[in-house]
Amino acid sequence: MQLYRDDGIVLRTQKLGEADRIITILGRGHGRIRAVAKGVRRTKSRFGARLEPFTHVDLMLHAGRSLDVITQAEVIRPYGAPLAADYPRYTAGVAMLETAERFTPVEKEPALRQLLLLIGGLRALGEAEHAPGLVLDAFLLRSLAVAGYAPVLRECARCGAQGNGRRLPAFAVAAGGMVCASCRPPGAASPAAPTVDLMLALLQGDWDSADRSERRHRVECSGLVAAYLQWHLEHSIRSLRHVERV
| pLDDT on residue 43 | 61
Up-side HSE of residue 8: CA atoms within 13 Å toward CB? 31
Q: Is the dihedral of CA 47, 50, 52, 57 positive or negative?
A: negative
- Phi and psi, residue 46, nearest 5°: -70, -30
The whole-number pLDDT of residue 165 equals: 47
CA-CA-CA-CA torsion sign (141, 146, 148, 154): positive
pTM equals 0.93
Q: Which phi and psi angles does 216 have, rounded to 5°?
A: -65, -35
pLDDT of residue 244: 65
Encode the chain (246 residues) as per-residue pLDDT tens digits: 589 999 999 999 999 988 889 999 999 999 999 999 988 877 666 666 789 999 999 999 999 888 999 999 999 999 998 998 899 999 999 999 999 999 999 999 999 999 999 999 999 999 999 999 999 999 999 999 999 999 999 999 999 988 754 579 999 999 999 999 999 999 999 999 999 999 999 999 999 999 999 999 999 999 999 999 999 998 888 898 888 655
